[in-house]
Structure 1
């Protein structure tokens, strides 16, 4: 909600999201409450970046790269930044980044990929590549396990597949309704907004002096501070989304598909796809997967495995162009932790038409496909990009060949 296309990510020095903001910091609030931060006091600078090749290909063609630098001005933050252990994080030591919103077309198809197939992808890549140690033991070449014996790459027995941070396992969990929009249902009748926010509000005279005026029903004790705290802790909030609406939403959410591929029979497309594989892009942007039986797996038990209301995709060959594994690019002002799930490429061909822009990567720093490719070739603090070798291969193509690769997600859309 912070920006039209961005989420403001504020972490401590160790990349752990500050507790007092929650995962999604809110830039708006309903009177008399105040937003968690003042959008007008967030300064976003777009800086020029020069890579190790001087932003130039061997044949002389030049390109431009930019990256974001985010500064929070004095008075931007409401209250304090509190970490997960209850300690204050000074603004001078906080890390501030942007993350663009994530598209969810085809999420149901991704959800239908068998977990074991994705685990096999980890096993295959883990033999030769360094993977996120949160999930993969790079010494033992095996999965990290939780104390209860379950795999760290799973949640509730379902493999993580969604979000940059790979922290969502199933479309059916759909925490975004609650975490982002704070929409209550009969199984979520509490606030997503963290307790620290309510504590700040309860100590704010501007809020306490008007809370009963706006919400007379909150007057339980005659002490607005106590009543605000109680409201923040409430687990019996009115239900905003009734069951039938939730079912319809989930049917739509899981059913949003992928546009048909276009121009795939042209010679240019076929050659571009061939080059895409030859130079190494397909190593992480795995072209195709085959869905399984696609039994519905709902962590909350609201839908059965055979629920006929829900969209299902059994035994289909799909072309997301992702391995659903995290890699590091070591970009300037990288995303939180530096580990990022390989973004699916399907649907990119219509982005400009539908969204009005062709921005790429986690914070939209790449203004086109060429820039996105070149950001994959970074050598930064701590190491070099996992895709550096593929970018070197891309650089050695002729200009005409580079354009054929670039046109794939523009004209051919799904690369199928």
Structure 2
């Protein structure tokens, strides 16, 4: 594909908004809303209430001018300008490649995995699709990941810690002769319709137009777990499940270039509003105390990666400066180089590498496989298996030893395994991951889109979906195995992700595990349909369109975004449609 590039304040309100909206091919009025059709000479020029910079959400170095099918796959201008295009192209195959098992038992996929490739979860590089059942077969775009936990406050509450018997990203696939830790054929996924809003709002707008909200219920029976012990026999012996779907990977490297200082200012501004303006007694209800200490007006210990401010293990540019978590719904990762993709290329496919010289498994699964008679029999009948031995007891011993998540799986009494992904290949993967562009904005010259932006700002949506950030010098951190190697840099760029990079709570029925959820960036989402990725929104794809996503923010009066969503509810249909058009254009 030929790729063409163009170079080129947070207003706090009591009602925070957390839109994570959806994109379709036509606007809510039924007319075709065709992106790019009328942009023409206006691209790169100030139009209405849009500045010329807003055409380029990723700045000069991070935006692709391609807005056609496949644009999510484009490299940034920085990749080309900085001489990294060959590494970018080489790294792309690791995202798209289907990993398979080899005769050694550890080469490539497995022995247990979440998916066979990154592309399985991120169809065409975008958001996962809503599914009616939990199936991870290749090519279906199912981006769902399971959160399996012991609930504390009620049998199906969204609190409590993860069960220890399966991995944090639970695996439902395995390579022969093993069986997956969870038998996904027994996972039950049901979609329910909301019959009444907890907030009391009618399921119709004041002008009579109805809206419909759905949400998933997921259960896993005791018999589905192939672990010893079974999670139903540990903890409080109750097991609950939530699902989370993947977001798009385009433009992610730009978020890595936001400075810790600016993130701190965002937290401080939000906390200050609630503390001194809104006069909220308990600021921790609105700003996660795990990440922000309101009394000290500073980050809490949980905000720093890998966990404390004093370690300096993962430092900005190697200068000992700690980094603030900014990636994943739960804000578990601070840098893209050890963030979602860098972690996922290991634990989703279970492909080992020099800095992860171990399997992503659990002792409970290893023990179960070592006791499984069918597994032992298959190994016994295959003398080429690395687990083969002359007796059942010895086979069992080898299985248990080799499948455990030890500190170094490559050196043991039976085999000397080599890492399956080399440092050079990981480097190429990170050039690709950090080098993905965000598509330029569309239709900013359309009066309806300009009205949509005006309304979006007026009703308080930008309080959480902060429009713009300025990147810093982008002195990125790299793991030691690729230290000194050049990655795409995005210094001093004005970017428009529409996220405050913080967490908020919506209080939805069957809410996300842990309640807190990072504000999902909105940029580029209007091109989801044309790129063939999931158009659904919110953490579990429960919102099938933008209107549903917004109204989920009003499901409960406790929602941090309730007042903004209530204002949306009371808009005229023309203004509701305008907001949707705006969201599809940025």
How far off is 1:230 after superposition? 1.5
Alignment of 1:68-79 (within 5 A): 68-73=216-221, 75-79=223-227
Q: Is 1:150 the equivalent of 2:298?
A: no
Question: CA, structure 1 residues 167+323, in 2 after alignment: closer, same or farther (shift >3 Å)?
Answer: same
Match of 1:218 in 2: 387
Shift of residue 74, structure 1, vs aligned partner: 5.2
Aligned to 1:44: 189
1:241–1:61 distance in 2 versus 1, CA, 3 Å: same
Matches for 1:260-275 after TM superposition, within 5 Å: 260-275=440-455
- State the shift of 1:87 in Å: 6.8
CA separation in 2, counterparts of 1:279 and 1:149? 37
CA shift for structure 1 position 395: 1.4
1:204 to 2:372 alignment: yes
1:311 corresponds to: 488
> Residues 8 and 25 of structure 1 are in contact (CA less than 8 Å); yes or no, is this contact kept in structure 2?
yes
Q: Is the 8 A contact 2:427 2:482 kept in 1?
A: no
Q: Distance in 1 between matches of 2:241 and 2:516?
A: 16
Alpha-carbon separation, structure 2, partners of 1:391 and 1:185: 46
Q: Give the structure-2-normalised TM-score.
A: 0.65
Q: Within the alignment, does 1:321 sit opposite 2:321 as a pair?
A: no
Worse-superposed segment, 385-394 or 230-239: 230-239
- Partner SS for 2:301: coil
Distance 2:329 2:308 in 1: 25
- Work out the CA distance in 2 between the residues paired with 1:344 and 1:287: 9
- C-alpha deviations, 1:47-101, integer Å up to 9, x for none? 0113121211122211000000112245222125767xx971476x211111112
Higher relative contact order (CA 8 A, sep 6+): 2
Give the secondary-structure state (helix, strand or coil) at the position aligned to 1:392. helix
Unpaired segments of 5 or more residues in structure 2? 1-114, 116-134, 137-141, 152-158, 275-282, 316-321, 411-416
**1:145 Cα shift?**
2.9
Paired residue for 2:567? 393
Residue 136 (structure 1) aligned with residue 295 (structure 2)? no
* Per-residue CA distance 1:27-64 (angstroms, 9 max, x = gap): 11111110111222111111011312121112221100
**Which residue among 208, 224, 240 is the counterpart of 2:420?**
240
Select 1:169's aligned residue among 330, 334, 338: 334
Which residue of 2 is the match for residue 88 of structure 1? 234
Q: Which runs of 5+ in 1 are unaligned?
A: none
Most deviating of 30-39 and 207-216: 207-216
2:478 counterpart SS class: coil
Q: Which residue of 1 aligns with 2:103?
A: none
| 1:218 alignment partner, SS class | coil
Q: Deviations over 1:90-121 (max 9, x none)?
A: 76x21111111232211100000111101110
3-state DSSP of counterpart to 2:173: coil
Secondary structure of 2:189 counterpart: strand
Structure 1 window deviating more from structure 2 (7-16 vs 277-286): it is: 7-16
Considering only aligned residues, what root-mean-square deviation do their CA atoms show, in Å?
2.4
Q: TM-score, normalised by structure 1?
A: 0.90
The question of whether the paired residues in 1 share the 8 Å contact of 2:182 and 2:224 is answered with yes
- Report the Cα distance in structure 1 between the residues aligned to 2:263 and 2:356, rounded to whole angstroms: 30
Q: Distance in 1 between matches of 2:310 and 2:562?
A: 30
Quote the Cα distance in structure 1 between the aligned partners of 2:145 and 2:551. 24
